[in-house]
Structure 1
Amino acid sequence: MQVIRLPVLSDNYIFLLWDEIRNIAAVVDPAVAQPVLNKLHELKAELVAIFNTHHHSDHVGGNRELIQEFPSLTVYAGAEDKGRIPGQKVFLYEGDRVTFGSSIGEVLFVPGHTRAHIAYYFPEVTAGYGGELFCGDTLFAGGCGRLFEGTPAQMVDSLSKIRSLPDNTRVWCAHEYTLKNLQFALSVDGDNEVLKNRYTQVRNSRNIGEATVPSVLGIEKSTNPFLRWDIPALQLAAKSSDRTQTFARLRGMKDQF
């Protein structure tokens, strides 16, 4: 399974999964259809699945047009998003599995950003990495999603599931927010040398137009404040030793940053 990153809109990423042997493709969170159709035409591949993480329009906006072009494809999304995902055929729960070609993905229920958000984790080792995580707007490189429908406690539980995955998991998050996220991270964790070095690398990458996605989970565990609620420096910044309150206060600070 190859992952092809397609930048769209102002800061979204669509991820096209391609099985070169079978020449089939699946797409994660197609915000718009045309870039996906262009890449499929280039690859001469058939689209067989849409994997949606949640219902927001910048993640499902291309569903209907893609279904028109490939009527037999299957749309997967969380069971609790029923009625909110165009064309949804499969309603997924925590622990379910999805198949694409010879690859099998595990479904994680990760509410917080929305009440029905899910993520897809493909644990197979590819290119030296320990798995591929498609996490929508739950975890970002250097940050996490806003809480629109969920609670801080739900988001901490969701991020804890992600934090338990192998450090060499690639994190395919859906937006290019990394530079701003790390600027906030430095404001609450400014003595973190790993974070300072990462910020410099990301700033240099963005200055020349390079993407910062995918990230790697081990890097997130070392630098992302929203995976570090149990670190004393972050608890000090949040003025709390409680993990949920620490997270909630950090998220509130980020909302105002």
Structure 2
Amino acid sequence: MQVYRLPALSDNYIFVLHAPAQGIAAVVDPAEAQPVLKFLAQLGAELVAIFNTHHHGDHVGGNAELLRKFPTLTVYGGEGDRGRIPGQQKFLQGGDRVPFGDQEAEVLFVPGHTRAHIAYYFPPTNPEDAGELFCGDTLFAGGCGRLFEGTPTQMVQSLSKLRALPDNTRVWCAHEYTLKNLQFALSVESANLDLQTRLAEVEAMRQRSEATVPSNLGLEKRTNPFLRWDVPRIQQAVKMAEQVETFARLRQLKEQF
């Protein structure tokens, strides 16, 4: 399976999955249809699935037009998003599996950003390869999503599921927020050498207008404060001792940053 990243709107990413042997493609969170249609024409692939992570308009905005162009495709989303995702036909729960080409994704229920948010994890077909995680707005490179419909407890539980995946997992998050996320991260963990190095690299990448997605889960575990709520020096920095309270305070500080 090949994964392609398409920029959309002001800072969104749409992901196109391609199974060349079968001549088919799937799209994750199509914010708009036209970039997808143009790219599919270049690939010469038939769109067979839309994998939505949640119902927000900048993730489902292209659904209706893509369905008009490919009326036999299947639209997947979370069970709790019933009635909120245009064209949704499959209503998924955590632990479900969804097929694409000769692979299957595991569905992870990760509420917090929204009440029905899900993620799709494609495990590697070979042990030496990386898995692919499509996490919508739950986990970002260097950050995490706002809590619009969920609680800090839910988000910590959801991020814990993602943190438990293998370190070499590629993290395909849906927005280019990395630079500001890392600037905030350094404000709460200034002594983190991995974080200092990463911020410098991302600053250089963004100066060259390069995308910072996908990220790597092992790197996130070392540098993303929203996966490090149990690290003593972060707890000390935000003056909290309990893990959920630490996360909640981090989220509050980020929104004020």
Relative to the length of structure 1, the TM-score reads: 0.99
Q: Deviations over 1:184-239 (max 9, x none)?
A: 00000000000000000000001001100000000000000000001011101121
- Residue 153 of structure 1 aligns with an amino acid whose one-letter code is T
Gaps of 5+ in 2: none
Residue 171 of structure 1 contacts residue 214 of structure 1 at CA under 8 Å; is this kept in 2?
yes
For 2:97, the equivalent position in structure 1 comes to 97
Q: How far 1:129 sits from its partner (Å)?
A: 3.8
Supply the distance in 2 between the matched residues of 1:40 and 1:202 (Cα, whole angstroms).
30
CA distance in 1, matches of 2:250, 2:78: 28
Structure-2 residue corresponding to 1:154: 154
Cα offset for 1:177?
A: 0.2
Q: What is the DSSP-based 3-state SS (H/G/I as helix, E as strand, rest coil) of the residue aligned with 1:25?
A: strand
Question: Post-superposition shift, 1:128?
Answer: 5.2
Given that 1:49 and 1:76 are in contact with CA atoms closer than 8 Å, whether structure 2 keeps it comes out as yes
Tell me, in whole angstroms, the C-alpha distance in 2 between the residues paired with 1:215 and 1:130: 12
> Which residue matches 1:188?
188
Q: How do 1:76-155 residues align onto structure 2 when only pairs under 5 Å count?
A: 76-125=76-125, 129-155=129-155
Which residue of the partner structure matches residue 12 of structure 1?
Answer: 12
Report whether the alignment pairs 1:67 with 2:67.
Answer: yes
What amino acid maps onto 2:221 in structure 1?
A: K
TM-score by length of 2: 0.99
Distance in structure 2 (CA, Å) of the matches to 1:125 and 1:215: 20
Identity %: 70
Give 3-state SS (helix, strand or coil) of 1:161's partner: helix
What count of residue pairs does the alignment treat as equivalent?
257
Distance 1:244 1:177 in 2: 23
1:219 maps to 219
Q: Choose 21-30 or 229-238, whichever is displaced more.
A: 229-238
- Alignment-derived partner of residue 175 in structure 1: 175
2-structure distance, mates of 1:244, 1:181: 20
Over aligned residue pairs, what C-alpha RMSD do you find? Answer: 1.0
User: Mean alpha-carbon deviation: is it higher for 120-129 or for 197-206?
Assistant: 120-129
- CA distance in 1: counterparts of 2:125 and 2:205, whole angstroms: 26
Paired letter, 1:144: C
Tell me which amino acid in the other structure corresponds to 1:166. Answer: P
2-structure distance, mates of 1:127, 1:141: 24
The answer as to whether partners of 1:103 and 1:124 remain within 8 angstroms in 2 is no
Runs of at least 4 residues off by over 2 Å: 125-130
Alignment of 1:203-242 (within 5 A): 203-242=203-242
Q: Which runs of 5+ in 1 are unaligned?
A: none
1:107 counterpart letter in structure 2: V
What SS does the aligned partner of 1:7 have? Answer: strand
* Alpha carbons of structure 1 residues 27 and 157: separation in structure 2 relative to 1, 3 Å: same
C-alpha distance in 1 between matches for 2:140 and 2:255: 14
In 2 relative to 1, CA 125–196 (structure 1 residues): closer, same or farther, beyond 3 Å?
Answer: farther
